[in-house]
A and B are shown apart, each in its own frame.
Chain A
Amino acid sequence: MKKSSESLPLLPGLWRGFKASAPQRETISTGLPALDELLPHGGWPLGALTEILIDQEGIGELRLVMPALAKLSQGGRWLTWIAPPYVPYAPALAAHNIDLRKVMLVRPRADSDQLWAVEQALRSGTCGAVLAWPSSGDKRQLRRLQLAAESGNCLGLLFRSVRTAQHASPAALRLRLHITGEQLEITPIKCQGGWPKKPIKLALPLIP
C-alpha cells in the first residue's frame, strides 16, 4: 500500500521534513567558513531578503558581508547602497577588494522614496546586491521587497535595529549581531530552508 504522503505531488514549495531534499536556493558564499556552515544552503541567499539586526554600529556588520560583495562586484554585478547612514568610504571599499566601478549610491530626500528606490533596484536584475537602511518597514512593504528581490535574483541586505527582532518579517534570513569582547556573536533568528542552528562567535579581520 502506498504511503499517503507519497501520493502528494512534488510541489516546489512543499517541504518534506523527513527527507533531506530541501528546496534548493541559489546562494553566494560568505567567505567565512564558520558562517557558511551556520547558514542554510551554505551562503547568503540570492533572490531573497536578508535582515541583519544590530544594536550599535561599528561591530563588524559591514565587514561580515564584504567578501560576498567583493565577489559580486568582481563578477560584474552592481552593488547599490540606498540611504546609508554615513558615507561609504571609497578607499576602504577598495581595500576590501570591491570594484568601485560597480558601486552606486542613492540618497533619496524623502523617506517614502527610500522603499521605492530599494524596490526598483531589487527588481531591476542588474544589481547583485542592494544594501538598505530602512527607517520604517511594515510587513506588507517588506513582502513587496522580498518579491522584488526574487524577480531580480538579487541579494537584498537590510540593516535594522535589534528592536525589530520580535516583529515578524518575510525575509528569508534574519541574523542578530552582538559584540562580546573582541568577537562578534551571530545568532540566527530565522533561517528559511533549514533549522536555526546555535549562535557562533567570529573574530572579523579589519582588512582582508
Chain B
Amino acid sequence: MSLWLALHFPRLALEIYSRQLPDDGPLAVSEQQRIYLCNEAAQNHGIRQALSVSAALALDQTLLIVPRDAENEENTLEQLAQWAGHYTSHVSLQPPHSLVLEIAGSMRYFRGFSPIIADISPKMQEIGYYMQYAAAPTPSAALLLAKAAPHTVIQDKNHLARTLGPMSINHLELPDPKIKPKLRAMGISRLDECLHLPRAGLTRRFGPQLTQTLDRLLGHQADPRPAYQAPAFFRQNCPLPAETDQAQALIFACRRMLLDLTRFLQLRAKGAQQVDFRLFHRKHCVTQFTLSLLSPSQDSQYLLMLLTEQLERLPLPAPVLEIQLQVTQLFSLSPKPLTLFPTPEQETADWTTLVERLSARLGQDAIGRPDCQEDYRPEQAWKMDLQEPTPTLHPPQTRPLWLLQHPQALSSEGSTPFHNGPLELLSSMERIENAWWDAIPVTRDYFMARNSQGSLLWVYRERGNGAQWFLHGIFS
C-alpha cells in the first residue's frame, strides 16, 4: 500500500525574489518580454499573465520587473527536496515546480497522515513558499491533484478513478502536444469520459502514450520515480532584486540563506566551520570573504552575528547584485553536554565564542597567545600564534616582563649608556651569543640598568660593532 504526497509551488518563480525583499510592493517575473507571474499587489493594478512588459509598466509605474531565473528555481527546488528529506527518504523532483514524496513508509513514525501535513504546512509558511499539496496512492495522481484540486487526500486506490473522473484532461502530462487537441475535437473534456473509451481504440488512434499515462495514473502500471540524492555541500545563490550597497539589505538577504544552511546542517547532524561568501558586482567583479569558526557550529543566529560584524567593515568596490553562500566541508559536531555545573568544555566554548567575536571584527592576526621557543636569542625566545603553547624549559636568568619589538639604539658617553639620563648598570654581565651557523650573528652583553627616574631597564652592548648600546626590555 503506497501513498505519495505531492507538493506543488506555483509561485516559486516569484518567491525566490520576494523572499529577499523586505516590503510587499508590486513585483512581476518576466519571460521573453511577457509577464510570467506577478504578485497580489501587482494584480490589484490590473497586471495579468501573458501581458507584455511595456503594457504592464504603463499600467503601474512602480512595478518591479525581474527576469525569470530558471537555474535558481532549480536550485531552490533541490533545497526544498533536501528539506523534505526530513519526512521521508524518497523524494523525487518534478521540475519545474513540484516535489513528490513517498510517505507510506513514514506514516508509522508520524502515526498517520494528518500529523505529517500538520507539521509541513506551518513550516513551509515559515520558510516562505506558497505550497499546494495532495496525496494519492500513485505519484502522477498526487501531482495532478496538487495542481488541479489541492488539499485532496485519497488513501484508497479504489476511490482514485471516482475522484479523478471530473478532472479536465488538460491536467494530463503527455509528451505529445497533439493528443489533447484531438481529444477535445472528439468532444472529450473530462478524464472519466476518456476512461470510458475502449482501450484498443485509444491505443490505435493515439499510440501507447495515452493509455500508459492513464494506467500509471490509476495504478495499473508501475510508475517509478528516481529519488533525489542530496549533494554533500551547500551552495545557495541569492540574486538581489535591485543592486544595493547597504549593509542592512545584505544582512537581510543573508539571514534567509543562513536559515537554509542551518536546516541543511541539521538534516545531516553536521556543523560548518568555514562559510564562504561571494558578492557579485557588475562587470564580473567578485568580492570574497570567509567566516571562520574555531569549532563547527549549526547556530544561524551566531553566524548572523559574526556576519554582521564582518559586513559592516567590509569595503565594497561597487553595489552588490548577487550573494552566494557556500559550505564545502562538513564536520561532525561534538554533542553539547547538559550539566548542572559549568564544565571545562563549556568554559572552552565560552572562550571560543569570545575569540571568534574578537577576530570577526579585528581580524585573525590581531589575536594570539605568547609562547616560548628554545633559543638563546631573547627576541627569538617567544612567538605568537593561536595554538596551545607547549611546555618548555625556561632560562634560569631573570628576564624582563616587557620586551621591545625592535631593540632601541641608545646614545652613550664612554661606557655609560644614556636613556633619559645616564643609566646605572646594576647586575653583572650576561653574555648571549648564538651559533656560528645562524644567519644573523648575535654577540651581546646584557646588563640590568636603572635610570635616573628609577625605572629598571634591560640593555645590551653589541660586542665588536663599535660597542653600540641598545635597550631591549623593561623590568616592569
Contacts and interface: CB of A to CB of B under 8 A. Distances in A.
Interface string B363-407: 100111111100000100111100011000011001111111100
B350 A100 contact: no
Interface in B185-235: none
B347 A76 contact: yes
Contact of A90 (B363, B371, B454): B371
Contacts of B389: 90, 100-101
A94 interface: yes
Interface of B: 344, 347, 350-351, 353-355, 357-358, 361-363, 366-372, 378, 381-384, 388-389, 394-395, 398-405, 451, 453-457, 473-476
Contacts of A180: 454
Interface string A93-134: 111100011011111110001001100110011110000000
Given A86-B404, A113-B362, A104 B355 contact: yes
A126 to B, nearest CB: 4
B21 to A, nearest CB: 33
A130 B384 CA distance: 18
Given A86-B403, A91-B382, A94-B372, A124 B454 contact: no
B394 A60 contact: no
Contacts of B354: 120-121, 124, 126-127
A103 B344 contact: no
Contacts of B353: 124
Contacts of B378: 89
Nearest to B455: A58
Interface of A: 55-63, 66, 76, 78, 84-96, 100-101, 103-109, 113, 116-117, 120-121, 124-127, 179-182, 206-207
Given A60-B476, A87-B405, A91-B399, A105 B358 contact: no
Contacts of B395: 91
Task: Say what secondary structure dominates the interface of chain B.
Answer: mixed
Contact of A88 (B358, B370, B398): B370
Given A58-B476, A100-B372, A121-B354, A89 B455 contact: no
Contacts of A62: 401-402, 476
B350 to A, nearest CB: 4
B349 to A, nearest CB: 9
A182 B424 CA distance: 13
A111 B381 CA distance: 29
Given A87-B370, A89-B378, A95-B399, 20 more contacts: A58-B451, A59-B454, A59-B476, A60-B475, A86-B404, A87-B402, A87-B405, A89-B381, A89-B473, A90-B381, A90-B383, A90-B389, A100-B370, A100-B389, A101-B369, A104-B355, A105-B369, A105-B370, A106-B366, A124-B351
A207 B455 CA distance: 16
B366 A107 contact: yes
B362 A117 contact: yes
10 contacts: A58-B456, A76-B347, A90-B372, A90-B381, A94-B394, A96-B401, A104-B355, A104-B367, A106-B366, A126-B354
A103 B344 CA distance: 16
A10 B388 CA distance: 48
A89 B403 contact: yes
A57 B382 contact: no
Given A57-B476, A89-B402, A91-B394, A108 B366 contact: yes
B401 A88 contact: yes
Nearest to A105: B368
Nearest to B344: A76
A137 to B, nearest CB: 19
Given A86-B404, A87-B402, A91-B399, A100 B369 contact: yes
A197 to B, nearest CB: 23
Contacts of B402: 57-58, 62, 84-89
A202 to B, nearest CB: 14
Question: Which of the listed residues A62, A66, A87 has the most CB atoms from chain B within 10 Å of its own CB?
Answer: A87
Pick the most buried of B358, B368, B378, B400: most chain A CB atoms within 10 A of its CB. B358
B377 to A, nearest CB: 12
B453 A87 contact: no
B398 A101 contact: no
A75 to B, nearest CB: 11
B149 to A, nearest CB: 57
A181 B388 contact: no
B401 A101 contact: no
A88 B389 CA distance: 15
A59 B355 contact: no
B474 A86 contact: yes
